Amino acid sequence: MTIYPLKFNPILKERLWGGTKLGDIFDKPIENDITGESWEISTVKGDISVVSNGELSGKSLQDLIDTNAEEVLGKSVVSRFGKEFPILIKFIDAKQDLSIQLHPNDELAKKRHNSFGKTEMWYIMDADEGADLIVGFNKDVTKEEYQKSIENDKLLDLLNYEKVKEGDTFFINTGKIHAIGAGVVLAEIQQTSDVTYRVFDFNRKDKDGNLRELHTEMALDAMDYTKKDDFKVAYDTTTDTVNEMVDCPYFKTNYINLTKNLKQDISSRDSFTIYMCVSGEAIVANEFGEATVKKGETVLVSANSKSIELKSKRATLLEVTI
């Protein structure tokens, strides 16, 4: 099957902590002032991406995978994940602090939820002055110390805060307590999973006046209680080349800063390729066609592509493969 670079209709998510920047900055068609997420590429049940460009417009990504799995995903991806798209791609606007949470690993998620775990990475696209993230603990703690801090409403005293600016990148492995802070807009790449253990939500109430559910007990056996400085990603920003950012078992992400056209031979890749445009505008082309992406847009190139050409005089892209 000849599959040109595919764009999808954004799946917009209303969130208690969301704002308007997905519309203000990226021109997403938001309908309210608490839009927190734009799911760019998804096959999560009930939130399956639909093609928005070209002759395949209106087709769902899952339909394309079901009928052309190896061509879309790659043989190696199908051997690992079957006909499931293994990652979920999002843009997130945090007008308020997100809840403090963590995600279980594959083993625990499979046992409890028949799901994958949730390893993820964040690339900061915009941040208000003074904005920060919570990533991990500020010291080693015991399970008992952690439980006591929850009981006494002192959890915040144990957490590590990181000031952020555009371009900062964080890798969030399973078990690590974390939260996105107010004033941050970011690109998120994660395993296909919606399993989250919320442990503290600043005692906020939803629109109906109810406190949101916490997962205090479930989090205890999923959490890493040690202080680790393994989350900040250092990467090269050399122009017009592919710079490695993250290489983990679930996804690989590269940073590409374009000032001219860049052609890549991907005949041996055996994986789909995703481009998230985090600044500027570019044309993504394979042998079957092309698509234009601007800041805040995403494109999927099928695994049966032999080459990719990125055409731009000014753009920054995150390249994601398996």
Task: Tell me the binding residues.
Answer: 103, 120, 178
Tokens of 268: 């041996």
Cα separation, 44 vs 179, whole angstroms: 22
The distance from CA 241 to its chain's CA centroid, rounded to whole angstroms, is 22
Q: Which two tokens stand for residue 211?
A: 């406190």
19: part of which helix (H) or strand (E)?
A: strand 11-19
Q: Residues near 275 by Cβ (< 8 Å), separated by ≥ 6? A: 282, 284, 293, 298, 299, 301, 310, 317, 318, 319, 320
CB 72 within 8 A of CB 3: yes
Positions at the binding site for Zn(2+) = 103, 120, 178
Please state, in angstroms and rounded to a whole number, the distance separating the CA atoms of residues 168 and 166.
6
Return the ∠ at Cα 15 (arms to 254 and 129), rounded to 5°.
60
Dump the DSSP string for 86-147: -EEEEEEEESSPPPEEE---HHHHHHHHSS----EEEEEEEE-TT-EEEEEESS---HHHHH
| 35 touches 20 (CB < 8 A) | yes
Pairing of strands 87-94, 132-137: unpaired
Which residue is catalytic, options 15, 112, 198, 314? 198
198 is catalytic: yes
**Residues known to be catalytic:** 198
